[in-house]
Structure 1
Amino acid sequence: MSGFTIGLAILGGIVLALVVAWNAWTQRRLQPRQPMMAERAEPAAGQQPVEPSFDPVFEPGVTSLPVPERKPGLDALIDVLAPIAVEAAVSGEAALAAMPATRRAGSKPFAIEGWNEATQHWEMPQAGQRYGAFQAGVQLANRLGALNEIEFSEFVVKTQAFADAINGAPEFPEMLHEVARARELDQFASGHDAQLGFTLRARNAAWSPGYVHQNAARLGFTVGAIPGRMVLPAAQPGHPPILALSFDTQAALAEDPTQAAIRDVTLSLDVPQVHRGEQPFVRMRDAALELAAAMDGVITDDNGQVIRPEGLDVIGADLEQLYDTLEARDLAAGSPLARRLFS
């Protein structure tokens, strides 16, 4: 075989190897990114292995959190109230038996509270307690709109039926006045209801669900009840999550999650639902920036426009004004009344 033929064979082999390598690199580049496998450290002799846990993330300078609060009750600020007088104290059992089957009037929450003679507090009736008075209430507005005349009438019917069952006498406010109050509150709420969302888009390779979970978990996010949703828990148990991170549900439910391709995830903040002291926007901004850096992504708005760090700071400044306005109306973000109104 001549030297020229051998040279051609070698050159052909090199070209073939380059083609194979190129195809392998391209296929790897297009595959969804997978979570990194962390090395498992062996516990020292006599030590018990410690399970990993996710603790709330605290911002520098934040040394306290909202104190525990009593379960929110009826309040004239956002509820229509109808006092119910009784001739004699009523047992909790009798009150519970007289309760209406549903706790809504149309689309608005409806509730009845009793004045506990022992604790001297308004509360939902409980067995074993005695109540010297009652009050019924229906919420003036929520995210479905203002209380209307039909809902007010349903409130009156439910309250009257309860009062009749316990030999009570209700006193109802004037309907037109309360409906007008509902519209004013709804107008205020609609103008100050902020729900923020950032989209994190993959620059190059897509992400697998496990890859998203791993990176979000490092920032304190935990798996939510809905597939494709993770949440950053509030410091106070029972409160709404500070942030939510969501992605395609079908990818989350895929038979082979390693092959499910996710090209974008959404970070969202329901501003009125989260206490200002949690610094929710600061944590949302930092989470977006850290995830973008770690996952090779870019932060965009709903229209696909890139949001730069300085743009995030402008949004944060606007939110501070919103917090001040809500507090001036006694509807501070994250308070029981705000969580009820903006729901």
Structure 2
Amino acid sequence: MTDLQMTLFGAGGVFIAGVFSYNKWQEHKAKKSVERAFSNDHDDVLMRSGAGASAPAAPAAARHEPSFEAGDGASAGAGAGAAAQPCADPLDAPARSADMASPAAELATSLVDPLIDCLLPLALEAPVRGDKILPVLQTLRLVGNKPVHYIGLHVNGDWEPITHGGVYTQLQGGVQMASRTTALNELEYSELVTRLRGVADDIGAEPAIPDMIEVMAEARTLHRFVAGHDAQLGVNLHTNGAPWAISTLIGALEKQGFDLRPDGRYVMPDGDGAFLFSLSTNVTLAEETTARLTLLLDVPCVAPARDGFGAMVACARSLVGRLDATIVDDSNQALSDAALAEIAGQVLEFYQEMEAADIPAGSTRALRLFS
């Protein structure tokens, strides 16, 4: 080996080590950012007792949650609007405690959620009927691919989704700040502000618009968390002999408990109207045979109590006997019981991370973010 080759090999080693170190530093920095942003001590506005209670003091670097407090999120600048009027707590009724939350109040909390939504208070000039304002609110239900929801403070003291026949003294809107694909961006937020002011004028309300810079920072942080936990696990079955006929497979999959959806997907029902995992034949509808099946688990969308990965592996093992197949990885290498057990441990750690971020897998929050 010549001196030049030795020099090039040495330089290459230094470069690779530098890239590895830089990537680890970036990973550590991103993890710390998410831990700070999604710590468990956030102030859940919709569940706080005492209307108008001031938010606890927080360090300058802490996540700033838009809230119902007067003036919160209404600082001067791009997108700033009138100061927010204090909104009553959804459960702030004299005889009501957190343990007595009505179904309507719980649904309201899931629709307008301070952890994943940018809150948009709408101060009303006078009580309004749901029948009157619903047609107007329906005109602003989506910005980009981010849903916009509304709840109202009913005259009975409950926050609830706005319905026909209800009478409301205060309104609260919320736009989801991130989805599986993107974060709420400046263009979408500007469109939201413009359209929201038009809606507010039509229903006789005054909107409090949070500062755009703060909202964009929160949206990007939330999307980083979503992107970092957008995990799908696949387990493959490969035939030990000739390819399977699709017509034969249908019967075997139905006996295994799979449902065939209108979109052509095979799914394993969870018993509550949703499904645990899906199955792909890895071929187009025009094909008559396949040599490989893939079971796929959308990890953040299945609650740990469902044990989606365990159920998927059990299903794969059952199909091995029915179809004379082998469980393999994406490289067609057989997956041992030890390898599957190791993956199960990683899934458990994943669930613990989501729980620590206050976005448990399979929860309403998770389903909204990862839909």
Calculate the TM-score normalised by the size of structure 2. Answer: 0.67
Q: What is the total number of aligned residue pairs between the two structures?
A: 266
Q: Quote the offset at 1:158 in angstroms.
A: 2.4
Q: Quote the offset at 1:248 in angstroms.
A: 4.8
Residue by residue over 1:40-61, the C-alpha shift from the partner in whole angstroms, topping out at 9 and shown as x without a partner, is xxxxxxxxxxxxxxxxxxxxxx
| Structure showing greater Rg | 1
Q: Is the 8 A contact 1:136 1:159 kept in 2?
A: no
**C-alpha separation between the residues in 1 aligned to 2:304 and 2:134?**
37
Q: CA RMSD in A?
A: 2.0
Unaligned runs of 5+ in 2: 1-102
Tell me the secondary structure at the aligned position of residue 145 of structure 1: coil
In the alignment, is residue 113 of structure 1 matched against residue 141 of structure 2?
no
Match of 1:150 among 180, 187, 204: 187
**C-alpha separation between the residues in 2 aligned to 1:139 and 1:190?**
15
Residue of structure 2 equivalent to 1:268: 296
Return the letter of the residue paired with 1:82. Answer: L
Match of 1:244 among 278, 287, 291: 278
Residue of structure 2 equivalent to 1:19: none
Residue by residue over 1:31-90, the C-alpha shift from the partner in whole angstroms, topping out at 9 and shown as x without a partner, is xxxxxxxxxxxxxxxxxxxxxxxxxxxxxxxxxxxxx98483110100001110102111
Q: Quote the offset at 1:316 in angstroms.
A: 0.5
**C-alpha separation between the residues in 1 aligned to 2:250 and 2:149?**
40
Tell me the secondary structure at the aligned position of residue 175 of structure 2: strand
**C-alpha separation between the residues in 2 aligned to 1:288 and 1:272?**
20
**C-alpha separation between the residues in 1 aligned to 2:283 and 2:202?**
48
Match of 1:222 among 259, 270, 276: 259
In the alignment, is residue 331 of structure 1 matched against residue 355 of structure 2?
no
Residue of structure 2 equivalent to 1:45: none
Residue by residue over 1:93-121, the C-alpha shift from the partner in whole angstroms, topping out at 9 and shown as x without a partner, is 11112124352111211222222223612
Return the letter of the residue paired with 2:192. Answer: F
Q: Quote the offset at 1:309 in angstroms.
A: 2.1
**C-alpha separation between the residues in 1 aligned to 2:142 and 2:135?**
17
Unaligned runs of 5+ in 1: 1-67, 255-259
Equivalences for residues 153-192 of structure 1 within 5 A: 153-192=190-229
Q: Quote the offset at 1:295 in angstroms.
A: 0.6
Residue of structure 2 equivalent to 1:29: none
Tell me the secondary structure at the aligned position of residue 331 of structure 1: coil
Tell me the secondary structure at the aligned position of residue 193 of structure 1: coil
| Higher RCO structure (Cα 8 Å, ≥6 apart) | 1
Q: Quote the offset at 1:129 in angstroms.
A: 1.3
Instruction: Flag the 1:197–1:131 CA change in 2: closer, same or farther, 3 A.
Output: same
Return the letter of the residue paired with 1:96. Answer: L
State the percentage of identical aligned residues: 35
Tell me the secondary structure at the aligned position of residue 331 of structure 2: coil
Return the letter of the residue paired with 1:241. Answer: F
Residue by residue over 1:270-304, the C-alpha shift from the partner in whole angstroms, topping out at 9 and shown as x without a partner, is 01111111110100111112112221112223333
Q: Tell me whether 83-92 or 105-114 shows the greater mean CA deviation.
A: 105-114
**C-alpha separation between the residues in 1 aligned to 2:151 and 2:107?**
14
Tell me the secondary structure at the aligned position of residue 197 of structure 2: helix
